[in-house]
A and B are shown apart, each in its own frame.
Chain A
Amino acid sequence: MLRLHNVQTFHGNVQVLKDLSIEVSEGEIITLIGANGAGKTTTLMSISGIVPPRAGEILFDGKPIQNVSPDDIVASGISLVPEGRRIFPRLTVMENLDMGAFLRRDNAEIKKDVNHIFELFPILAERRHQQGGTLSGGEQQMLAISRALMARPRLLLLDEPSLGLGPIFVKLIFDIIRKINTESRTTIFLVEQNAHMALKVAHRGYVMENGRITLEGSADTLLHNEDVKKAYLGI
């Protein structure tokens, strides 16, 4: 479904991604783990077109998207839940959700999706007229995921969804990720520092170091890999 082939991305003159190759198949949850500064967020920014790669190829459904504008990438079915949630602070919860469905015109279906999201996260229904910036961190994360879902993506990119959240919210967020994947068959690309949780929910994983993939395999193998255990699981 998604294929990154020898992708090289730069921030100014600094090369962040060095010959990065990743493959994601339809319906799976894959996770990308790695230390701070390894290039995980840049990988997602390259896929979504915000920081286009300087060399290499990104194929979505076999079509190159590395030079497509971000709004067209969203239209093709990829949505990103960015690091730090990036809720529009002075739009209401409802307006934030509307913005998620910005490219859709099927108002009846949009309404249905909003209701579905309010079932999933009742707290958002309660706060629907509140400004996004006034929500707590966990609520903002729910809203960020919901906003991305409003676009009905086929591929959902999640950047550190558990960052800065308490244990109850972390568990809730991971449950939701699993649910999104099984219920609506949405493919999920999860970037995480919480490697343990990420590998438990994912089918496959990649380990990234300094802009390169150093290890890949099924989530189970990675969980029991000695190097991964030492470096990322703290065991």
Chain B
Amino acid sequence: MDYFLELLIGGLTRGSIYALIALGYTMVYGIIELINFAHGEIYMIGAFTALIVAGVLAMSGMSGLSVLILASVVAVIYSAAYGFTVEKVAYKPLRHASRLSPLISAIGMSIFLQNYVLVAQTSDFLPFPNLLPDLPFLANYVGFIGSTEFIIIGTTAVIMVLLTLLIKFTRMGKAMRATAQDRNMAMLVGVNVNRVISNTFIIGSALAAIGGVLIASHVGRINFYIGFLAGIKAFTAAVLGGIGSIPGAVLGALVLGCTESFATGYVSSDYEDVFAFVLLIVILIIKPSGLLGHKPTQKV
């Protein structure tokens, strides 16, 4: 039973990180129907930014929680700026082109950002300090969950609640939903659609950066390539849950994380990815629009 709980916690931790990245895919897809393949790179850039900031702060003698907070804030701002710029440079000029063009542009952007970090940093894995604080009280009460897992799952849960409130109740959230449902009509009630699209990229990138900082602290090392696999997995999670659906992305990510964790624990870690993608295929055969995806509505 303890082993099961351990695997479950491991799966939820993974799933939380996938969810933070998957939200960026699903929100962007919901609004401009583009798979933003450069999104994984934004997450990687977030982790690198946090590493650099943490390094500088450590040299200046700071430690503990203030390093985590400062490093995360800078990483979020920096990644958000990258997301914003990528959209303006690579996607906005292609807004009225055929659907294939921005997709190719996205892949190009992804390769460019990977190689840019490769040149600017190094191809080696760099050690990442564990910025997350130790929570000793956890060990006294619950044995099966470690501090980092607890913080990752907890942070993600809080962010999900905040995001839901933002989407449901704020003016910007309503504008985002309206734009996703009918872009021209949103313009016709006075929504500045360009601003909505920029905001979507900024929010998605900020979430990915938080994911990057959390997972880098957990795993303890990063390189320029971490965005690729994480991006593919998060994208899988978004499709699994129904691309375009925000709760779907979270559900898909948690299901995917747990599947991987259980496959590793009960079968073999060699089969982790096999199980993840078999799950994707099975769900898409049974429900092509994903777990919580809605069928495209016919416009009259």
Contact = CB atoms under 8 A, between A and B. Distances in A.
Interface in A83-122: 84-86, 88-91, 95, 98-100, 102-103
B178 A91 contact: yes
Interface in A63-99: 69-71, 74-75, 79-80, 82, 84-86, 88-91, 95, 98-99
A99 B171 CA distance: 9
Contact of B190 (A85, A86, A133, A151): A151
- Of B177, B182, B185, the most chain A CB neighbours within 10 A belong to B185
A50 interface: yes
Across the A-B interface, the 6 shortest Cβ-Cβ residue pairs = A74-B190, A70-B187, A103-B190, A84-B300, A86-B185, A71-B190
Contact of A84 (B174, B186, B192, B299): B299
B174 A74 contact: no
Given A50-B184, A98-B174, A74 B297 contact: no
A3 interface: no
A82 B185 contact: yes
Given A71-B191, A84-B299, A103-B190, 13 more contacts: A70-B190, A74-B188, A84-B300, A88-B178, A90-B294, A91-B178, A91-B181, A98-B174, A102-B175, A102-B191, A133-B297, A147-B189, A151-B190
Chain B interface helix/strand/loop/mixed: helix
Interface string B271-300: 000000000000000000000001001011
A71 B181 contact: no
Contact of B189 (A85, A90, A100): A100
B192 to A, nearest CB: 5
Interface in B212-243: none
8 contacts: A50-B187, A69-B187, A70-B187, A79-B189, A86-B299, A91-B177, A99-B186, A151-B190
B67 to A, nearest CB: 41
Contacts of B181: 88-91
Nearest to B184: A50
A189 to B, nearest CB: 14
Interface string A31-75: 000000000000000001110000000000000000001110011
A127 to B, nearest CB: 18
Interface size class of B (residues with CB under 8 A): 20 to 34
Interface in B179-219: 181-182, 184-193
- Of B182, B189, B191, B297, the most chain A CB neighbours within 10 A belong to B189
- Of B188, B193, B300, the most chain A CB neighbours within 10 A belong to B188
A71 B192 contact: yes
A99 B189 contact: yes
Contacts of A74: 188-190
Contacts of A71: 187, 190-193
Contacts of A95: 174
B113 to A, nearest CB: 31
